[in-house]
Amino acid sequence: MKIYNFAAGPAVLPLEVLKNVQKDLVEYEESGMSVMEMSHRSQVYQTIIDDAEKNLRDLLDIPANYKVLFLQGGGTLQFSMIPLNLLKVKAGYINSGHWSIKAISEALKVGYVDILGSSEDKDFTYIPRITNIPEKDLDYVYYCDNNTIFGTKFNYVPETKRPLVCDMSSCFLSEKVDVSKYGLIFAGAQKNVGPAGVTIVIIRDDLLDSPSNLPTYLRYKIHADKNSLYNTPPAFNIYVCGEVFKWLKRIGGLDEIHKRDVEKAGLLYNYLDSSTFYTTKVEKESRSIMNVTFNTPSADLDCEFVKDAEKMGLVNLKGHRVSGGLRASIYNAMPLDGVKELVKFMDNFAKKHQKG
C-alpha cells in the first residue's frame, strides 16, 4: 500500500532525492566511502557543503553580504542564539502562536521584549497586521512566518528599519523571498529541506559581531569564520539538504514549487470551504499553504478519522497536542496525488458520518 506522510516534521522528502541518496549511500561518487563516514575536513566533503551553499544561494538569490550557516540544535537553539547575539537593550516580537511564545520566553532571559502585536485574543487563528512599529531602542524585530500548529502564515513582510529576524522553518523554500529585507532568517531543515539535525541560518554580515563573553559555539561569527565547519557538522544531513536544493533547481526553482504548493493547498481548502461536515478556524487571509488545520464535528470523530485514514495509507493527520483536531502538512515534497487521495478519503468519511 502506498503511504502518504502528512507529518509536520520530520516530514516527507522527494522520492527522487531518496532514491539518489540510496544510490550513493554505500559509496559517494567513487570516493570509496559513504558520506556518513567520510571526514568533514576532506576535499570530497568540502565540495558537498560548498555545492549545497551555492545552490541555496542560487535558489534564494542570497546577496553576497550574507553568510549561509549550516548549524545544529534546531529552531529551539535559535530562539536562544538570536537574543544572545543580537539583543543589547530591547527586541520587538510578534506573537502568532506556540513557536513565537517559545522564542519570546528565551529572549526574556537575555533582555527586554516588546510584544508588537498578538493574535492570542482569537486563539491564534489569524496573523496580526503590524504597522508603524515603534522602533526606538529595538535591536531587532522578530516573527515566525508560518505556524505549523495553528495553520497560519504571514501574507506580508513587516516593515521596519531595524534588523528583521524571521523563523521560516516550516515554509522555507516554498516561495521566493527577498532576503535583503531581513537581517537574519533561520529554518530547521526537517520540514521542507531535509532530515532533522540541520538548521540553516542566513545572516547579514553586519550582525555577526556578538558579545565576546558568549560561549564560543553560540557565536554566529565563529561559525561564519569557519564556514560551518567549526566542529563536526551533521555531515550526512547537510548532504541530503544539498540533494534537495539540486532537485528544486531541476524542477524549475521556487516559482515552480510555489505553483505546485498553491495548487495542492487550493484543492484542500476548496473542499473544506464547500463542506458542511469539516470546519477550519483559520481566517482565509491568514491560511498556510504548508499546514492545513481542520476539524470534524467532534473530538471522537477526529480520532476515528485519524485511525481510518491510516488504514488507507494516509498517515500523521492528528493535530498538534496544543491545538488538537486534524492537520495535513503538505510540504514541497508532498505530491498532488497525495492531496487528491486525502480529499477523496475526507469526502467518503464525511458521507459515512454526515447526519441528515
- The residues assigned a catalytic role are 99, 167, 191
**Rounded-to-integer distance, Cα 153 and Cα 284, Å:** 10
**Positions of E strands within 154-299:** 164-167, 184-188, 199-204, 291-294
Helix (H) / strand (E) containing 143: strand 138-144
**CA distances (Å), 12 to each of 6, 186, 248, in order?**
7, 20, 15
* Distance from C-alpha of 197 to C-alpha of 48, rounded to nearest angstrom: 17
Q: Which residue has the cell 522527494?
A: 14
Q: Which amino acid is at 229?
A: L
Buried b (16+ CB within 10 A) or exposed e, 179-216: eeebbbbbbbbbbbbbbebbbbbbbbeebbebeeeeee
The CA dihedral of 264, 3, 234, 332, to the nearest 10 degrees, is: -10
Beta bridge partners of 328: 292
The torsion region of residue 254 among left (phi > 0), alpha (psi -120 to 50) and beta comes to: alpha
